[in-house]
Structure 1
């Protein structure tokens, strides 16, 4: 008899099929200290830091076992970009883009470090990251121009994730529900930012 607990997880896939679909969020006031920059030098250490800092409390676990070389190979692929939001020099969140066949670009990861959530940074970061997905081919000679930007989110993500995607003009194209092992989130660490 199997006594392992499971959780029902719903995954929603959303897309934009034209740059005109993007509905921009308000740009933060200059005094907010918010800026967004591309991490142009592939850095497994920095990317793993962002992945665990943003995803530790929402059960991002798929990349935790990746060795250094797998991180490096992934980050060095043409059309993979990491855009990082900073508040007064401190990393607040990130967007990872990945070019795919037939002009598709996936927003593979998007999110904020817990202490920066709920402060209107996410809408701006998603707007900026989506715009960079639409103009990705201009930075990567040989890539097909973007025809579609897509992403997925799930019921384990933050409570405002889906609404943010929809406000930015993403449309639902698929819903999937599965049972997953009921495992506690891996971090970031006990006593980190209060829930």
Structure 2
């Protein structure tokens, strides 16, 4: 098996005023919080969004591992629906130092290129900034951060920069090359 060089960029916003929202796309797009932690639904979103861009770190997780992450205070999943169909999601993870990580963000391939991504990222970042309002006793958000890498979609970095995120770290590592799994075997060849 061969190795591939992967660049990972970490970006942040340090004030709510850093957020530069994208306009909402035309049509019936709704973004709804999945308030009941559901490992099945979260795994569906993860595999469907990340299958063609080699998201593999959570594929081998057990049901209990998914449950543990989703049940953490300040863990939220916001799902974009285009005419009732899941189109993508933002997963937030609150951290003890007042930071909120956008742990995962992306669109299902069939919904890319429809101006949904900028709006969904804007919405997710805004929910990261107001996360403390939904968790009594939690201090306000001081920083929202995210990482993206050279395996992600071709417009990912540009979307983050256009939403007001600033680069604070870059790392290059060698990783074992993996076949693109897709949400099911052979899906990437459709």
Q: What TM-score range do you get, normalising by the shorter chain?
A: over 0.9
1:39-118 mapped onto 2 (5 Å cutoff): 39-118=34-113
Tell me what 1:156 maps to: 151
- 1:76 CA drift (Å): 0.8
Tell me what 1:28 maps to: 25
Distance in 2, Cα, partners of 1:177 & 1:73 = 30
TM-score by length of 1: 0.94
Asked whether the 8 Å contact 2:7–2:173 carries over to 1, the reply is yes
Asked if 1:119 corresponds to 2:114, the answer is yes
- 1:116 CA drift (Å): 0.3
Distance in 1, Cα, partners of 2:179 & 2:110 = 20
Q: Please give the secondary structure, in 2, of the residue aligned with 1:119.
A: coil
User: 1:50-71, CA deviations, whole angstroms, 9 ceiling, x for partnerless residues?
Assistant: 0000001111111111111111
Which residue of 168, 175, 179 corresponds with 1:184? 179
Distance in 2, Cα, partners of 1:190 & 1:65 = 15
Asked whether the 8 Å contact 2:182–2:188 carries over to 1, the reply is no
Distance in 2, Cα, partners of 1:76 & 1:101 = 15
- Runs of 4 or more consecutive aligned structure 1 residues displaced over 4 Å after TM superposition: none
Asked whether the 8 Å contact 2:45–2:89 carries over to 1, the reply is yes
Which 5+ residue runs of structure 2 have no aligned equivalent?
Answer: none
Asked whether the 8 Å contact 2:52–2:188 carries over to 1, the reply is no
Asked whether the 8 Å contact 1:115–1:193 carries over to 2, the reply is no
Which residue of 8, 11, 14 corresponds with 1:14? 11
Tell me what 1:5 maps to: 2
- 1:193 CA drift (Å): 6.6
- 1:74 CA drift (Å): 1.0
User: 1:89-142, CA deviations, whole angstroms, 9 ceiling, x for partnerless residues?
Assistant: 000000000000210000000000000001100000000000000000000112
Q: Please give the secondary structure, in 2, of the residue aligned with 1:56.
A: helix
User: 1:11-62, CA deviations, whole angstroms, 9 ceiling, x for partnerless residues?
Assistant: 0000000000000101123xx1110000000000000000000001111111
Distance in 2, Cα, partners of 1:19 & 1:107 = 15
Which 5+ residue runs of structure 1 have no aligned equivalent?
Answer: none
Distance in 2, Cα, partners of 1:98 & 1:168 = 19
